[in-house]
Amino acid sequence: MEDKGMEDKGMLGVELSDQRLPEEKFFALRKKVLSEWPTGKDVDIAEAITYHNKLPGKKNVTAVLMRAASRGDILIQPRAGVTLLEEQIKLLRYLQDEGGADILPTTIDSYTRQNQYNAAQKGIEESKKMGRSMLNGFPVVNYGVAACRRLVETLDRPLQVRHGTPDACLLAEISLAGGFTDFEGGGIGYNIPYAKDISLEATITAWQYVDRLVGYYHEHGIAINRELYGTLTGTLIPPSISHVVGIIEGILAARQGVKFITFGCGQNGNFLQDIASIQTLHELATEYLAQEGLSDVRVTTVFHQWMGGFPPDEARAFAVIAWGAAVAALAKANKIIVKTPHEAIGIPTKEANAQGLKTTRQMVKMLEDQSIEQTDKLKIEKAMIRAEVAQIIDKVLELGDGDWAQGAVRGFAAGIIDVPFAPSRYTSGTMLPARDKEGAIRFLDFGNLSFDHQVKEFHREKIAERGRSEHREPNFQMVIDDVYAIGQGCLVGHPKVKAEVG
């Protein structure tokens, strides 16, 4: 896959618009998509719909998620993916039986994410020779529909695809035909944090294809959940930035016929801000969908435990995991993506992965009957997130002349939406976040974000307050300190604290 440099058309040669792909256009595009790798020929969407209809409800993510949401239960899910089919089955069965995962993942390898299927095939062959996984995930496209169904039929939990693919059209076709019932990602969240030179026009239109495919399944009675990757770079992401991206992706998905959407956000570390983030995410997603005439979409939320650097010591790592679980439980997120005590080391063992799940489950069960009071401080955090989201989205829609897809592209080009620490040249990278003295993420430099005077003054004062408490002028060093803080044993980066814990 390569960026064709098209300004008006995307990866599939489709005009950039937030309107639904006409069915005849969609099916014309499918011929091209399914011809990209030999396993595409095994996809028969009519037969796949029949196959899904025969699956029990316990193997459908949407059914499991909706049932849990109605009960107020919080689901837990790991990340996991290895190269060989039999090893993937063993790994997921262990996380199901020993870890108690409610939803099972299949994390996709990096070659597949970049549509390099020849390289993925070599990885499969090399893994067979070496007797161990030589890829960092499971290459679904190379294995095809039959292997996906082997996973679905062998396991007792529903399966979700987790990846990071700018162009996921063929991956979606094969995995959904194979019985997966949840597909993660979006045209912004799986571009800006993952790619350097791929345009947003290209990825937004590619993901509209994915969403139209999910919508087509729904029109024929099959509920497929779509989860949006709200953590972005996972590095000091202000909640409002994550929310704006999620809302845009959610509306673009719903316009293509998606009816079940899980909106995601990541743990930032400050208790009240994280609570406010989860709660406002559900509220704002629901409100903006309703404003667009899409109130029939069922909204759920997923909370990602800390996505930044972890302490290398396992005991300390468990504290980070437990803290994320506690926040999600008290904020009443619908699902938690669980980390492991091996995050600082690399790919975790299946045992470490199960330990993270058990730690999370214990914390969720301990807090299931408790709730968080809507204090004045919490209300202020929620009000600020709401104000920031509204001001960014208003400007995005103005730039797009009411079109969400055009507004997203133009908004990023103008710096109205900006994701920090991203590799993409399609985000300006001029906005800089830093923590205040209590660890909440604020804006050190607004870049071109379209905030009013009241919002800017709130953030300036919060950053200045930290500077006074640390006897230093707010500057870029604060940002650097904060990036490494949790991995070094604290939340707010400070030279003295770092020296003590080091």
Token duo for residue 334: 């619908």
For residue 213, give the amino acid letter.
L
Distance between start and end Cα atoms, the chain: 44
Q: Which residue has the tokens 């991206």?
A: 245
Per the DSSP assignment, residues forming a β-bridge with 261 are 226, 299
30, 79, 113, 410: the catalytic one is 113
Residue 108 to residue 142: CA distance in whole angstroms: 11
Could you give the C-alpha distances from 185 to 167, 172, 176, 206, 502, in angstroms and in order? Answer: 10, 11, 14, 11, 37
Contacts of residue 486, defined as CB under 8 A and 6 or more positions apart, other chains included, come to 269, 306, 308, 309, 310, 311, 320
Crossing angle, helix 169-177 and helix 23-34, to 10 degrees? 90
Q: Considering 30, 79, 173, 184, which one is annotated as catalytic? A: 184
Cβ pair 309, 272 in contact under 8 A: no
Transcribe 163-228 into DSSP letters. Answer: ---SS-HHHHHHHHHTT--EEE--TTTTTTTT-SS--HHHHHHHHHHHHHHHHHHHHTT---EEE-
Active site residue 184: yes
| Beta-carbon-side half-sphere exposure of residue 70 (alpha carbons within 13 Å) | 7
- The answer to whether the beta carbons of residues 343 and 79 sit under 8 Å apart is no
Confirm whether 36 is a catalytic residue: no
One-letter amino acid at 369 equals: D
With beta carbons less than 8 A apart as the criterion, state whether 65 and 335 touch.
yes
Q: What residues are labeled active site?
A: 113, 184
